[in-house]
Amino acid sequence: MSAPLYNRQILMLAVENAQYPPLTGAHLHGVLRSSICGSQISMDVDLDAEGQICDLGMAVQACALGQASASLFARHAKGRGHDDISAARDQLLAWLRGEHAAPLWPDFAQLAAVKDYPARHSAVMLPFDVAVMVLDGAAV
C-alpha cells in the first residue's frame, strides 16, 4: 500500500458534497445502499431535453471515500447522459481492479490510493451506480 487512504485531498473532496444538496421537485430520484459497506446515496436529477443531466442533488451517507467519489461525480455530471455515465462507471470499475490504466472520469486520479483497498471499492462506485439506476428509470 503506497499511499495513505485518507488524506487531506480526500477529506476536502468529502466536504464538497455540501455544494450539491438534494433537489426539491426533481424529475428523477433514486436511493442505493451498498450491501458491502452500508454506504447510501440518495440522488435527485433533472434532465434537459436531450436527456443530459442539467441539475443534480444528493444526500450522501458514506465514508470519506464514498463522499469524495460522490463529489467528483457531481462536479462533472452536468451535461452527461446515461451512456456516458454508464461507460464511465464500467471503466472506473476496471480501473479500480487494475484492468485499466487511468480513470475516465475527470479528477478521479485523486482517489488512486483506494485501488489498494478492494473493500472500499463499493463505496467509491456508489454514486455512479445510483446515477445509472436513476437514468435507467428515465429511459423507460
pTM higher than 0.95: no
Q: What angle (nearest 5°) sits at the alpha carbon of residue 39, between those of residues 35 and 43?
A: 110
Q: Note down pLDDT in tens along the chain; length 140 residues.
A: 456 788 888 989 999 999 999 999 999 999 999 888 889 999 999 999 999 999 999 999 999 999 999 999 999 999 999 999 999 999 999 999 999 888 889 999 899 889 989 999 999 999 999 999 999 986 54
What domains appear along the chain, each with residue ranges and CATH number? 8-138 (3.90.1010.10)
51: left (phi over 0), alpha (psi -120 to 50) or beta: left
